[in-house]
Each structure stands twice: as structure tokens, then as C-alpha cells.
Structure 1
Amino acid sequence: MGRRRDRHGLELSGLGAGPGAEEALAAYERAVDALLFFRGDVADTVTLMRQVAPGAPMGQVFAAYLGVLGTEEKQARSAREELARFRAEADHGRFTERERAHLQAASVWLAGDLRRAGELLREVSIRWPGDTLALAVGHQNDFFSGDAASLRDRVAGVLTAWDEQDPHHGPLLGMFGFGLEESGHYEQALETALAAVERNPHDVWAVHAVVHCHEMRGRFAEGIRYLDARVADWGAGNMMAVHNWWHYALYALESGDVHRALEIYDAAIHHPESAGVALELLDAAALLWRLYLDGGTASAAVGDRWEVLADAWAARADGPHYAFNDTHAVMAYLGAGRLREAEEVVAARAEWAARPHPGVTNHGMTARIGLPVCRALIAFAREQYERTVELLLPVRGRLQTFGGSHAQRDAVQRTLVEAALRARRTGLARTLLSERLGLRPTSPYNWLGQARLADQLGRAAMAVTAREKASRLAAAGARALADRPSGAGV
């Protein structure tokens, strides 16, 4: 039957016999490693496995998962068609029970049921806790669906079944660290993620968990120093490099250095050689939108970057696939002053959402969160700040249900804060800023908002104190930026 076992003792069927079977198994193991460490060769390695062993279900499943992990509509459609052909022609009785479970999970996800796919992958992890692919893909599923508890508990639930000396135990710690951070357990998250990086300096997902911890606790100088000290490990040559540079740029913005943030944008986040994939364009829009919200010289410094970014989103011609992406496309169009295109996205999604789409998770994401957020962004661009507040206030506590991280969704939360200030909704602005200061009292952004609120309330002394506080806090990050070691990259 051409079965072999992977490093965790799990059977893979359909590999054939002889050297070809060993080559297919080795390709599978390399692909799993590439996925864990976000190496760019993962797709080519999976392709090699499928060429050597076209009848192996795990090669087909792996390719299907890659088709959804990029949140790309066209990739998902192609992967859905390929997996459907394989399933129609295959003798499923020759597959293992675990492989059949993977085929079901991948098919369900490709059909649009993100949440059910996550549940099926969790069942795989319960029965076969050593299935690294199920854990890694399930972890990303939790991220895309914004399920922080599962992001944490999916990995926590298998750790006692693993040998701590297993080469994959380190990446599991990195995943667990990120789940802990998104669940608000910052101290444990940082300790866990740092342990993962200690084991594997190139574990860029664990690095990502560390920088999230610094971001959420407002420790921007620490984040800058951490990334600078390890830039050779994370700064290039992996599929997380753009996103981790985005985090660096956020640190720079909090430190008051718009020039440095845009320097990073041009060199690492969006430039003529960028791939134009949704996850990277999303980061680019989220960074520029923060400058758009700041207004004044910060917004003016963006120059023609909005126009270039809007063109990149337009070239994708995306349909309704992932509402989180839609909101960032709308940001790009609005930043470029292309209101009509932003409205066209909303109209198309509203028409789609008005029809039933049973079992399609993005339908609920779009109807309940994506459309209100997009409409609020448009209202903000039209300077209809009361309308922005009316649209965002009811959904602000449910934003996680359309995916992303706390740091990513903060672009929307900041839009609400800015709209409340500009609408002179001082009671609401006070509440929002008080919440933010309670969670991140070291954020210069939060103190600058408090200063603006004090101005509106006629409390001059409070405004001065808040601005001085913001300046002192930003100075720590500015010093860290100034002290960057030579040869530290971008």
C-alpha cells in the first residue's frame, strides 16, 4: 500500500515503493518544517511530493491547505478544484483514518466553512496529537477566525503529549506563545515565545509572538531593540518578514518617527518588487491608515504611496472571500481619494451578503462586521464622524470575529477614537481613551489622544501634562531607533 511513517510515527499512504517512497516522505517532512518556519520553499516542496507520489493523500491535503492559508480567493478556488478531482478519483479505503479526516477538514475549509474546518482539525489533534500539520494549519485557522481562546488552547492541549526534545516542540511553543498573547497572558506569552526563539533563532512566528507582547504592553523601545538584535534571523528570506517589519514600523510610529516608519514601508512592506499578495497589502494599508488618521504632516508625508497601493489592490480584482482583506482594500482606496472604488467594494459585498450562503463563514464576517467597518471607513473619509461612530460603536467589541490580531484590528479601534474626538463626543472619547490607557499606559498615542480631549474640555493643565507624558514615552523609542547597530538591515 506504499505506507511509511513520519517522524512522529504517523502513517502516510500512497507513497509507492522503493526510493520514490522515501523521496516523497522526505519531501513531506521538509514541507512541514518549511511551514513551521515560514520558509518560501514550502510550496515547491509540496509540489515535489505530489509529483513523486501523486496518490498520496497528505500531499494533496498539504497543497489544499496552502491554497487557503494565503487568504487568496483565486488560490482557494484552484485548490478546491484540484482536491475535488483527487477525491473523486481516489480509493479512500486505502487511506488511513487520519488522512480521511484531513481530507474532510481541507474540503470543508475550501468550501468556505472556516469554523467547521477548525473544529475538524481540533478533532485530529485530539486523536493524533503528534500531527504537526494539523496543529500548524489549525493554529492559522484560529488566527483567521479571530478565536483567541482556541489559538491558545489548540496547542496547549497537545503539549503534554510531546517530548520536549522533539525538533518540532520549539515551534509549538512559538504558537502557544502567540495564543497566550492574543488571550492577554502577556508575561507567560513572552516567556514562552522567548523560549521558542532560544531553541530556534529562525522561528519567525515565535519572534512575531515576542513583538506582539511588546506591542500590547506598550514596550516599544524593548521591541525595537529586540528586533534589531536579531534582524539577521527574521528580517529577510521568510514569509513573515514583511509582517514583522510592519511591527517594527508600528514601534517607530509610537516613537514619533514617521520618517523611519515610511523608510521601512518603502524598503520592506510595499515597493515595486512586492509580491502583491493580500496579506502583505493588508499590512501596507494598515500602516498608512494610521498616518491617515493622524492627519496633518503625518498624512501628508505619505505622498503618492496611497495611489500605488490602491492600484495594487485594484489589480487583484478580489471577490468576496475574506472580509478582513476587504476592509484594508477600502482603506487603500480611501487613502488614495478613490471614493468610488471603495463604494463599489461595499456595494458588491452588500449584494453578495444579501443572498444566503450556507456554511460560508465569510458570509457572517462580511454581513456583521466587514460591511459596517467598511461603511464607517467611508463615512470617516467623508468627514461624517458621527456616522462613523454610529457604525463602529456597536461592533467594536466583536471585531475579533472577522479575524486578525489585536494589533491589526487596532487600526479600526483608532478610527473610532479619532471619529469620537472629531465629532466632539467627549464622553465617548473619554471612555475609549480611558480604556486604552488602562491597558497601555505607556503608549504615546493614547496620551496624545488624552491631550486632545483635555483641549476640548478646556482643561489646559491636563493637556500639557498628557503631552509631556507622551513626549517622555516616545523618547525611549526614539533613543532605541537612534542607537540601532550598524548593519542592522532596513
Structure 2
Amino acid sequence: MALEDRYGLPLSTTSDQAASAYREGVDLMLAGWTGTAETLERAIAADPDFALAHIARARVHAFYQQGDLARSKATLARKLVAKRGTERERSHVETLALAIEGRLPEAIAAMSEHIESWPRDAVVLSLPLGAFGLFAFSGMADHDRARHELCERVAHHYGEDWWFLTMSGWAMTENGNVARGRAVTERGFNLRRANAHAAHAVLHAMFEDGSIEAADRLVDEWLPTYDRAGILHGHILWHQALGALEHGDAARALKIYDDVLQPSATQAPPLNVITDSASLLWRLSAYGHAVPKALWVEADATAQKLFPKSSLPFADVHMALFAAATQNREALSARLGVIEQRLADGKLPAGPVVPAICRALAAFADEDYAACVRELAPVLTEVVRIGGSHAQRELIEDTFLVALMRSGELPRARSLLDARLHRRPSLRDTRWQAAMG
């Protein structure tokens, strides 16, 4: 009898050990759990010609920005699957390889075609989902809706699958149906508690519906089951730090930063290293709390090593935050120049919002808050194009609010805060008291 993955799709291996390790490794990857790489290596050791194990391992390398390793394993997987692989496996490998190589439009097209034929290929379906997925980083203004609609289209193929409930629930949350999204995500979480993506998705729903105390309890109760080396360990505590700021508890937020988020302490992937550190330190400052300069300097030094050149817009925006906070106008100007050239060349799918944000931050660094407001005001509705989640992108609105306040436009700032509170009930007014005066 042919060996299969957990979703009933045939695997081109005759090794029970390889198939078993692959199934376990994929589940660990879909759960954001530790042991993923080691388990996939076991599958490769049991059958060195098993292409799907190699491409899955390549994807884990890509998570950690190990580009050379990821690309080399993708190349090997292509060769192996051409010799021994089904049509589904060849399409699977090619789609993941395109994503690993950063060929986003081609990867999205290949993913869409693949899912039409094999909707239960969860590894391929995972590519466009989440805040750092293909859709989020495509530059689309409607990527939240696109994720939700994709999940709705294939939902009948998955039923009560723990992974699918996790991701489809989060897609609902980000697309504005927070109550349903939280309920669906919690169903998936209850089916498999060893699932960091589910814990993370529930925290996003709690952020959106204002359940700050419940989110705090969830982290305290669940996190001890999750190893510090887990891909989302630091980011989950970043969410707890945001909750602390909701209550004006800057000391607790800074302690979380010191313990797990600062570059010398974290084991997170590079993109999380820079985005979590920059955004939390920026929020602390924006809400009127003192941030030791040494924290910015250390984090900026690491960020410059990890992302020395312009890359994803989401990364570029956070690098601009570092440059603004450290008043490194030269670095910000250089990165902005590259971004503007990419826009002029038609190679920036996210469009004018990216350089506009960077110009606004440059103005902020020069304490020209009126110019910051002028740059951001026309693009606030386009910020979604940079990717990430609502919780992460709210930072840009926060920057706009600070610029409004520092340029003396308090009535406009209050109006924006009122609109936010109407959109999403929480304690967001109290964290601005120090800044508003």
C-alpha cells in the first residue's frame, strides 16, 4: 500500500521511517513547534532521495533567512522529484521552490493552480496564509480578504483539522470578523494545544476585541509548554508586552524586551528580530515612556547586519524606524533612495506607500512633525500593502498620532483615537494619556 501524508496524499517513498518522520515534521512545522528541522532531517536520512522532505527542510531554512541553504535544498528537491515523483509532488516542490527563491508572483500563481487540483496539500496552502505569507507580502491592498476567501473556498476539504481551523480563523479575524475568527481559532487550538500558531492567532483575536487580561493569562498559562527556541516564542511575548503597554506598565514591557526580545537574547528568525524589537521600543517612546538609548543602538547594530540592503517593504519600514530613532539620516536616505528607484522601475508591488512611510519617518527624525503628517495622511489607508498583521501595522497609525500631537493638531489626534476606539474596544485611550497631556 502506498504511503501517504496526514492529508491522504501519496508520498513517493518506500520507507516507512521516512514517511513517518515527514508527517511528524510537517505537523511540527505547521504548528510552529520545536524539533521541526531535526525531524525532517530524520526523514531525509531514512530516504535521501525523498524530494518532499528536502523541500520542507528548505522552507525551514528560509524561515531563518538561511538563503543559500534553502536554495540549495530547493535545487536538490527539484532534481529528485523529476526522477521520482508524482505530478502533485513535482508541482508541490516547484511551488515551494519559487517561494523560497523570492519569486512571489510566480509562487502565488503556482500555488493557486496547485490548490485547484490538490486542495488538501496543506504545506502549499500554508504559503499564502498568515501575516508573513505570500499574500501579505504581495503588495495587495486586499490580502486580508484574499486569505479569508481562499480558506472559505477549501474549507469543506479540511473539516475540523487543527491546522486549518487555526489559519482560517486567523484569516477571519484579520478580515474583520473577529468574533467568528476567535471562535474558529480556539477550536483549532483546543484540538492541538502544542500549536504555537494557534496560540498566536488567538492572541491576535484578543488584541482586536480588547481582551487584554485574557491574553495575558493565556500567555502565562500556555507559554511554559513552549520551548524558548520555538519560532514564535519571542513574538508571543511581544504580544504580552503590548498588553502591558495597554495598562501603562512600561517596566513590564521593558523587562519582556530584556528577557526575550532584544537581539542578544532572542532565538527568533531575523524578520521577527528586527520587527519585534523596533516596534516595541518605538511604541514605548510614542506612549511617553523612556527608552534607554543603548537598547536602540544595540538593536540597530544587529538589524543593519541582518538587513543591510532594501528587501521586503515590511522589513524596510522597520529599518526606517531604527534609522529614525537613532537619527541615522544617512542610512535612512540611502535605503529610501533604493526604494524610490525600485518604485520608478515598477519593481515595488506595494507601491508609493513604502517610500511615503520612509519619508515620513525621515521627517520625524528631523522633528519636522508637520511634514510627517503630510506624508502619512494620504497613504494611511494603503499601509496594509506592506504586509504584516493589523497589530503590527497599527504602529504606522501610532506614528501619525504622535506626529499630530507634536505638531499641535490635538483635535485631529483625538478624532483619530475616537475612531479607533469605535472600531475596536480596548484600553487604547489610556496608553496615550502621557503623550496627549
Find the counterpart in structure 1 of residue 8 from structure 2: 9
Aligned equivalents of 1:153, 1:233: Cα separation in 2:
33
Of the structure 1 ranges 340-349 and 251-260, higher mean CA displacement relative to structure 2 is found in 340-349
Aligned equivalents of 1:260, 1:449: Cα separation in 2:
18
Question: 2:29–2:36: 8 Å Cα contact kept in structure 1?
Answer: yes
Q: 1:434 to 1:38 in 2, by over 3 A?
A: same
**Unmatched runs of 5 consecutive residues or more in structure 2:** none
Are 2:239 and 1:247 equivalent residues in the alignment? yes
Question: 1:207–1:234: 8 Å Cα contact kept in structure 2?
Answer: no
Report % sequence identity.
27
Find the counterpart in structure 1 of residue 294 from structure 2: 304
Of the structure 1 ranges 303-312 and 426-435, higher mean CA displacement relative to structure 2 is found in 426-435
**Unmatched runs of 5 consecutive residues or more in structure 1:** 358-362, 456-490
**TM-score normalised according to structure 1 size:** 0.80
Offset of residue 142 of structure 1: 3.3
Aligned equivalents of 2:298, 2:434: Cα separation in 1:
34
**Within 5 A, what are the aligned runs for 1:258-269?**
258-269=250-261
Aligned equivalents of 1:368, 1:48: Cα separation in 2:
46
Question: 1:201–1:233: 8 Å Cα contact kept in structure 2?
Answer: no
Question: 1:334–1:381: 8 Å Cα contact kept in structure 2?
Answer: yes
Deviations 1:29-57 (A, max 9, x none): 12111112212322233334334434333
**Within 5 A, what are the aligned runs for 1:107-256?**
107-139=97-129, 140-145=133-138, 147-162=143-158, 164=160, 169-234=161-226, 236-256=228-248
Question: 1:224–1:248: 8 Å Cα contact kept in structure 2?
Answer: yes
- Amino acid corresponding to residue 283 of structure 2 in structure 1: R
| Max Rg structure | 1
Aligned equivalents of 1:106, 1:398: Cα separation in 2:
28
Aligned equivalents of 2:152, 2:68: Cα separation in 1:
32
Aligned equivalents of 1:437, 1:381: Cα separation in 2:
28
Aligned equivalents of 1:206, 1:318: Cα separation in 2:
32
Question: 1:174–1:209: 8 Å Cα contact kept in structure 2?
Answer: yes
Find the counterpart in structure 1 of residue 396 from structure 2: 412
Aligned equivalents of 2:296, 2:349: Cα separation in 1:
29
**Within 5 A, what are the aligned runs for 1:33-52?**
33-52=27-46
Q: 1:425 to 1:102 in 2, by over 3 A?
A: same
Q: 1:58 to 1:327 in 2, by over 3 A?
A: same
Are 2:349 and 1:364 equivalent residues in the alignment? yes
Question: 1:61–1:83: 8 Å Cα contact kept in structure 2?
Answer: yes
Are 2:277 and 1:284 equivalent residues in the alignment? yes
Offset of residue 160 of structure 1: 1.8
- Amino acid corresponding to residue 61 of structure 1 in structure 2: I
- Amino acid corresponding to residue 286 of structure 1 in structure 2: S
Question: 1:220–1:255: 8 Å Cα contact kept in structure 2?
Answer: no
Q: 1:106 to 1:113 in 2, by over 3 A?
A: same
Q: 1:394 aligns with which of 378, 398, 405?
A: 378
Of the structure 1 ranges 219-228 and 117-126, higher mean CA displacement relative to structure 2 is found in 117-126
Are 2:334 and 1:338 equivalent residues in the alignment? no
**TM-score normalised according to structure 2 size:** 0.89
Question: 1:65–1:137: 8 Å Cα contact kept in structure 2?
Answer: no
Aligned to 1:126, what secondary structure does the other structure show? helix
Question: 1:135–1:154: 8 Å Cα contact kept in structure 2?
Answer: no
Offset of residue 82 of structure 1: 4.1
Question: 2:81–2:93: 8 Å Cα contact kept in structure 1?
Answer: no
> Number of aligned pairs?
430
Offset of residue 162 of structure 1: 2.9
Are 2:362 and 1:378 equivalent residues in the alignment? yes
Are 2:309 and 1:349 equivalent residues in the alignment? no
Question: 2:404–2:410: 8 Å Cα contact kept in structure 1?
Answer: yes
Offset of residue 77 of structure 1: 5.0
Offset of residue 303 of structure 1: 4.0
Offset of residue 224 of structure 1: 1.5
Question: 1:217–1:442: 8 Å Cα contact kept in structure 2?
Answer: yes
Q: 1:235 to 1:434 in 2, by over 3 A?
A: farther
